[in-house]
Structure 1
Amino acid sequence: MQIKNVLLAPGSGAFFYDDQAAIRSGAMQDGFIYVGQPITPGFDFIRLPASSLSIGLVLADDSIVWGDMMGVQYSGAGGRDPLFEPNQLSDLTSRIVAPRLLDADASHFCESCTRVFEPFEHTPLPLALEYGVSQALLRAAAHLHRKTMAEIVCSEFNLPLPTRRVPIYCQSGDAREINVDKMILKAVDVLPHGLINSRQKFGVGGQTFMEFVTWVATRTRQIGRPGYHPVLHFDVYGWIGQEIGLEPQSIADFVCKVADTVPDFTLNIESPADFGSTQAQIENYAKIVSILDNRDSSARIVVDERCNTLEDIRLFAEAKATHLVQIKTPDVGSIADTARAVLICKANKVGAYVGGSCTETDLSAQASVHVSVATQADMMLAKPGMGVDEAFSIVGNEQNRLLAMLNRRRSENVG
C-alpha cells in the first residue's frame, strides 16, 4: 500500500507559543501581550502566534490524508524540544522523511512509524515532526483498512474495541471566571486548569490560588445541574515549589491544605514544583505522592514538566512518582508512543491523561481522541485553543461519533 507523494502546507496553531522562563521571571501582561525581553532561545518576543505544518500523504487511490506538526505552548521549557520552526521542519521533512514515506507500507501503522522515524545521522528526529507524520500514517492505515483510527490502534496493540467514553478536561486560559461558568453549564468532566502561571495568580503563600479553588467549588454548586460533580484540576506551573519551597513535606502539606478547603471534590494538582531535572523530579514527586497516599488525601499529583518522552513516562510510572501522567502528545512524538504511554501507565497502576497543548489543531485533537478512546485513557484534554466552546465541541463530538461507529461495528460482528 504505497504512498505516491507527500504534500506540505504551512498552518496556524490554535493559540500562542509563550516563553515560560520570561513569564516566571516576572514579565507583566499588557492586554494580550507580555512586556519585556524573552529569555528562552528562539523567542523574539515573549508571546508568539503558534505555527503548524501540515503533511499530506497521497495514497495509491489518490486519496490524501493529513497530519499536523506543532510545538507546545511552553516550548523549550522543562526539558522540551526548542521552539517550533516550520521552515526547518519543512526542509527536514522534504529531504529525509518524504523519501522514507515513499518506501513505507502505509497499511502497517506501527511498522511504518518505526521505519520512518529512525534517527538521521545518529540524531533523533524532532518530536513535533514525529507527531504530525504519525497522525497522517494513522489516518492512512484507517483509510486503507476502511476502519476508524481507534480500530487501527486496537488492532496494533491487541486491545478490545472500547465501549466507554473518556472523561474530558477543559482549560480556562486567562478568562478564568467566564470559562469556568461555561464549563459548569456544559457539565465538563474535569475543570478548570486555571493557568496559575505567575506569582500574581498564585499569591503570597498561595492565598490567591486557594481562594480561586474555593470559588470554583462554590460556583459549581451554585450553577451546576443537580448531580453534577466534576473533578477539580489546577495547573500551578511549579508555583507551589517557587512560593512554599522545594521540601516535599512542605509541598504535600500545602496540597493537603488546599484539598481540605474542597472536601467534597477530588482535587488534581498539576506541576506542583519543578526540581530542575527528570531524576530530581522523580525522586521528589515520589515522596510527595507517598505522603499524600499515607494521609488518604483526596488530592492527586499530576506530572507535566520533566516528564516529556515515552521513556520519561515509563520512569515516572515505574517509580510511582505521580498519580496521573500528562501525556503531552507533541512532546511524546509519534502518536503510537502516546498509545504506548497510556498502556505503560495502566500497567503500573498510574493514571493516564492524554493531554497536549492549546497550540494544537483540529486534526491533531481528533487523532488524539481515537488514541485516547482506543487505549481507554483516564481523561483527555479538550483541545485545541484556550476557548472552552471550540475545544470541547471538537473533542467531544469526535468522541461521540467514534463511539457510535464502534457500536455499529460491534453489532455487525455479533450479527
Structure 2
Amino acid sequence: MQIKDVLFASSTGAFFYDDQAAIRSGAIQDGFVYVGEPVTPDFKSIRVPAASLSVGLVLADDTVVWGDMMSVQYSGAAGRDPLFETAQILDLTSRVVVPRLLDVDSSRYLDTCAKVLSPHGQKRLSLPIEYGVSQALLRATAHLRRKTMAEIICEEFELPLPTRRVPIYCQSGDAREINVDKMILKAVDVLPHGLINSRQKFGVDGQTFVEFVTWVATRTRQIGRPGYHPVLHFDVYGWIGQEIGLELQSIADFICKVADTVPDFVLNIESPADFGSTQAQIDNYARIVSILDSRGSSARIVVDERCNTLKDIRLFAEARAAHLIQIKTPDVGSLADTARAVLLCKENKVGAYVGGSCTETDLSAQASVHISVATQADMMLAKPGMGVDEAFSIVGNEQNRLLAMLNRRRAQNENIG
C-alpha cells in the first residue's frame, strides 16, 4: 500500500488570479486586462494567469494518481494565503512532503492525511499543498480499496451511502447576460453569481444591481422550461456595505428590498459587507441574519470573505453568522477538512455550500464533487473557469457518473444482505 515515487507537472488553472484590493479601488478594465498598478503583495499586475502544480503519486502497481495545487482567484485578500508561486510550492513539497509520502500506508485516508500534512516547523503547510496532496491521497486510497472517492469519505466518516443529487451553482463571470441565458437553458439549479465586484457593476445606491437581479428573474421566466425555478444567488463582494454603509439595519433594509423585487424566488446574497476582521464579520453577519429572520425575509446571507479555514467555518456555524457558508476548498486546505466543514455546518443547522474558485482545474473540481455528494452538501460550485459550459459539464457529469456507481454499489450491498 506504499507510494514508491512522486511526480510533478507544471499546470495551469482555468482562470486568473486577480488583485481584489486594486479592483475595489477602482482599477479600470481595458478589454480583459485591468489598467493600473497592483496593490496586493506579490502581484506583478492586477490580473495574472492562474498557475497550478500537479502532484502525482506512483503506487506499487505503477498506477499514477494526481492532485492539483493552486490558490483562489482573490489570493492575498481577506486573510487568504498569498499569491501562488510555483517554485516556492515545488520546493516546500519536495523537501518536506515527499519524504512523508514515501513513508506512509496510503490505504487509510484520514490517517494518511494527518501524517503527510502535519505542520512543519510548528507552522501549517501551505494550503495549496494541503489541497493538492489531499486530492492525490484520496485517489490513491480509492484505487487501493477499489471504491469511489465518495465511498472512501463515507466509510471514514461513518456516513451512509448518499442518494440525493447535490444542486449545482454556476457563475457567470463578466459575460453576464450570455452566461445567464446558458444557465437557464441548461436548467442550472442555482445561478448566476454575477461577479458584482465594482462600483460600476453595483451602481449608485445599488440600483444597477437591483436592475440586474430583476432582469435575471424575468429572463428565467421568458426562456426557462416550464416548472424551472432556480435559486438566485449573487456575490456582491462587500459592495452593499461599501455603497450603502455598514449600519446593519440599512444593509438588511437593502437586502429585503432586493428580495421583494423577486418574490417568487429564493435569494442568496453572498458577502454583503466586509467588516474588516473575522470576529467583526461573525458578530455583524449574525445580527444581519437575525434581522432578516425576524422580518420573515426569503433572502439568505452567504459568507465567503474572512471565513477561510475549518476553524473559521466552525466559528461562523456555531454563531449562526450566515444562512449558508461557502466552504472554499483551496482556502480550507485538505479535502478531509472540507468534509469536516460540511458536517460541522449540518450539526449547527447552517447550509453548507462546497465552493472553490474559477482558478481550479478539472481534477480538483471532480474530487470536490465526491466530497460534496458523500457529505450531502446543500449545493456545490460548477468549476473551474468562468465559462458556464465547461464547468457545468465537468461537475455535472462527474456527479451523474458517481451516483450511477453508488446506485450499483447499493444494489450489490442489498443483494448480499
1:184 aligns with 2:184: yes
Residue 104 of structure 1: CA displacement? Answer: 1.2
String of CA shifts for 1:245-272, please: whole Å, max 9, x gaps.
0111111110000000000000000000
Alignment partners' CA distance in 1, 2:119 and 2:373: 30
Q: Superposition pairs for residues 12-31 of structure 1, below 5 Å?
A: 12-31=12-31
SS of 1:343's partner is helix
Q: Superposition pairs for residues 225-244 of structure 1, below 5 Å?
A: 225-244=225-244
1:411 aligns with 2:417: no
Alignment match, 1:105: 105
Alignment partners' CA distance in 2, 1:55 and 1:104: 16
Residue 105 of structure 1: CA displacement? Answer: 1.0
Alignment match, 2:124: 124
Alignment match, 1:91: 91
Alignment match, 2:377: 377
Residue 150 of structure 1: CA displacement? Answer: 0.1
Alignment match, 1:288: 288
Alignment partners' CA distance in 2, 1:273 and 1:72: 20
Alignment match, 2:344: 344
Alignment partners' CA distance in 2, 1:36 and 1:82: 20
Alignment match, 1:276: 276
What letter matches 1:160 in structure 2?
P
Q: Superposition pairs for residues 26-41 of structure 1, below 5 Å?
A: 26-41=26-41
Alignment partners' CA distance in 2, 1:204 and 1:410: 54
What letter matches 1:388 in structure 2?
V
Alignment match, 1:4: 4
Alignment match, 1:56: 56
Residue 177 of structure 1: CA displacement? Answer: 0.1
With 119-128 and 194-203 compared, the bigger mean Cα shift is at 119-128
Residue 117 of structure 1: CA displacement? Answer: 1.1
1:388 aligns with 2:361: no
1:72 aligns with 2:72: yes
Structure 1 runs of 4+ with >4 Å offset: none
What letter matches 2:390 in structure 1?
E
Residue 197 of structure 1: CA displacement? Answer: 0.2
String of CA shifts for 1:63-120, please: whole Å, max 9, x gaps.
0000000000000001100001111000001000000011111101010111111111
Alignment match, 1:201: 201
Alignment partners' CA distance in 2, 1:165 and 1:88: 39
Alignment match, 1:322: 322
Q: Superposition pairs for residues 256-275 of structure 1, below 5 Å?
A: 256-275=256-275
String of CA shifts for 1:203-224, please: whole Å, max 9, x gaps.
0000000000000000000000
SS of 1:103's partner is coil
Alignment match, 1:174: 174
String of CA shifts for 1:35-75, please: whole Å, max 9, x gaps.
00000001000000000000000001110000000000000
Alignment partners' CA distance in 1, 2:132 and 2:385: 17
Alignment partners' CA distance in 2, 1:249 and 1:377: 31
1:217 aligns with 2:191: no
Residue 355 of structure 1: CA displacement? Answer: 0.1
What letter matches 1:413 in structure 2?
N
Alignment partners' CA distance in 2, 1:149 and 1:156: 11
User: What residue ranges of structure 1 are gaps of 5+ in the alignment?
Assistant: none
Residue 122 of structure 1: CA displacement? Answer: 1.1
SS of 2:264's partner is coil
Alignment partners' CA distance in 2, 1:188 and 1:346: 24
Alignment partners' CA distance in 2, 1:347 and 1:413: 28
Residue 161 of structure 1: CA displacement? Answer: 0.1
Alignment partners' CA distance in 1, 2:378 and 2:296: 20
Alignment partners' CA distance in 2, 1:319 and 1:85: 35
SS of 1:61's partner is coil
Count matched residues.
415
Alignment partners' CA distance in 2, 1:100 and 1:52: 22
Alignment match, 2:250: 250
What letter matches 1:306 in structure 2?
R
Alignment partners' CA distance in 1, 2:234 and 2:58: 42
String of CA shifts for 1:300-348, please: whole Å, max 9, x gaps.
0000000000000000000000000000000000000000000000000
Alignment partners' CA distance in 1, 2:399 and 2:14: 20
Alignment partners' CA distance in 2, 1:13 and 1:49: 8
What letter matches 2:240 in structure 1?
I
Alignment match, 2:309: 309
Alignment partners' CA distance in 1, 2:247 and 2:282: 14
Residue 281 of structure 1: CA displacement? Answer: 0.1
What letter matches 1:22 in structure 2?
A
Residue 25 of structure 1: CA displacement? Answer: 0.2
Residue 414 of structure 1: CA displacement? Answer: 1.0
Q: Superposition pairs for residues 132-151 of structure 1, below 5 Å?
A: 132-151=132-151
Q: CA RMSD in A?
A: 0.4
What letter matches 1:396 in structure 2?
G
SS of 1:164's partner is coil
Alignment partners' CA distance in 1, 2:164 and 2:287: 33
Alignment partners' CA distance in 1, 2:169 and 2:317: 21
Residue 123 of structure 1: CA displacement? Answer: 1.1
Alignment partners' CA distance in 2, 1:408 and 1:117: 34
What letter matches 1:98 in structure 2?
V
What letter matches 2:377 in structure 1?
A
Residue 154 of structure 1: CA displacement? Answer: 0.1
